[in-house]
Amino acid sequence: MRYFAVVSYKGTNYCGWQSQTVSKLPSIEQTIESVISKLLNCDTKIYGSGRTDAGVHALGQTFHFDSTKELDESRFLHSLNELLPDDIRILQFRKVSDYFHARFNAVGKTYVYKIRNAKVSNAFKSDLEYTLGQKLDIEKMKEAAQVFIGVHKFQNFTSKEEDEQKFSRNIGDISINAEKNDIEISLTGDGFMRYMVRMIVANLIQIGLGKLTAKDLQDALENPVRKPSSFKAPAYGLYLKEVIY
């Protein structure tokens, strides 16, 4: 039997979603696997919708796993949260079709990037948002963001060296909302490659600072010669908000 879960986590104390042998920090994946294996009394592998990097957070990451016995969904959800550390919370848990796959059935994702546009960081959110002490032109950022909408080859906005889709991705929406010192950039697309969101956000920040123009972004998108952007926003401002099925 196959079970599906939605999980939120604070990525500060982890090496990312995927288990890594080279890091001294635990991964989100192995932490959850350890608890599920303990509850089921057997080694259990979970399959996530995708990876998040070290320091990146999630409001709605998803995963699935298989069990040889039927589980009481409500009780198992409660047990998971009782045993998991406080910075990982399972929000939803349910049985799904044996043919369902958390990664391959996903049709899109929404990421959110949080910026504090102030000279002094919030002491309670220093690892949850990127503090930038320079004034940003939000309207110019909104206008430039439209360059990314639609199907493009994002080979210059990812660290990924090879891609089976030839770096082609479809971004359906980018919105930028600002309220006082808080800025939130939301991106929805059919998929995002390694560092892609952080590179797009960093380039939009450069637009807001007056250091790049929308034409610079357009040129980078249309340049067939691979030359990845040198701008990359810090991981701790990024959240995987939702996986779309």
Contact assessment for residue 199 and residue 132, using Cβ atoms and an 8 Å cutoff: no
Whether the pLDDT of residue 91 is over 90: the answer is: yes
Tokens representing 94? 């349910």
Distance, in Å, from the CA atom of 14 to the CA atom of 199, rounded to the nearest integer, reads 21
Q: CA distances (Å), 88 to each of 57, 65, 71, 94, 172, in order?
A: 10, 17, 21, 18, 29
Average pLDDT, integer, range 236-241: 98
> What percentage of the chain reaches a pLDDT higher than 70?
100
pLDDT tens string 48-63: 999 999 999 999 999 9
pLDDT tens string 103-132: 999 999 999 999 999 999 999 999 999 999
Distance, in Å, from the CA atom of 155 to the CA atom of 224, rounded to the nearest integer, reads 8
> What percentage of the chain reaches a pLDDT higher than 90?
94
Distance, in Å, from the CA atom of 95 to the CA atom of 47, rounded to the nearest integer, reads 15
| CATH numbers and ranges of domains, the chain | 2-96 (3.30.70.580), 108-244 (3.30.70.660)
| Beta strands 238-244; 168-179: pairing state | unpaired
pTM here?
Answer: 0.95
Tokens representing 24? 């001294």
What's the confidence (pLDDT) of residue 22? Answer: 76
Average pLDDT, integer, range 228-236: 96
Report the candidate in 29, 17, 98, 91 with the shortest Cα–Cα distance to residue 56. 17
pLDDT tens string 9-51: 999 999 999 977 677 899 999 999 999 999 999 999 999 999 9
What's the confidence (pLDDT) of residue 197? Answer: 98
Contact assessment for residue 214 and residue 142, using Cβ atoms and an 8 Å cutoff: no
pLDDT, averaged across the chain: 96
pLDDT tens string 175-191: 999 998 999 999 999 99
How many other C-beta atoms can be found within 10 angstroms of the C-beta atom of residue 216? Answer: 15
Distance, in Å, from the CA atom of 231 to the CA atom of 203, rounded to the nearest integer, reads 6
Whether the pLDDT of residue 171 is over 90: the answer is: yes
What's the confidence (pLDDT) of residue 216? Answer: 95
What's the confidence (pLDDT) of residue 12? Answer: 96
User: Catalytic residue numbers?
Assistant: 53
What's the confidence (pLDDT) of residue 163? Answer: 83
